[in-house]
Amino acid sequence: MPWSTPFDDPITLRGGGRLVTLQQAADHVMALPENVQHEAHWQIAVENLINAAETGGGWLMFARIAMMRALNADGNGK
């Protein structure tokens, strides 16, 4: 599944932006400070994004859920 694959429902960020694709979600994580990227909830989100890109199927839903949980865990849903 390509990184340009869209989520079934975009992820709305607190600042008004949206993450529509796997690539946008990955870019969002990579834009976070490095110490934040290494927090467990962000690592789980990254693992799920990679699984979705490599495997497809239900992993797309898991990647979306993991991203939403990470965004809500530390307030970085900007």
When pLDDT is cut at 50, 70 and 90, the band that residue 56 belongs to is confident
Question: For 3-37, how does the pLDDT look when each residue is reduced to its tens digit (9 = 90+)?
Answer: 999 999 999 998 889 999 999 999 999 999 999 99
pLDDT at 76 over 70: no
When pLDDT is cut at 50, 70 and 90, the band that residue 43 belongs to is very high
Strands (E), the chain: 6-12, 18-21
pTM, whole model, 2 decimals?
0.89
Give phi and psi for 20, each to the nearest 5.
-100, -35
pLDDT at 77 over 80: no
Cβ proximity of 4 and 55 under 8 Å:
no
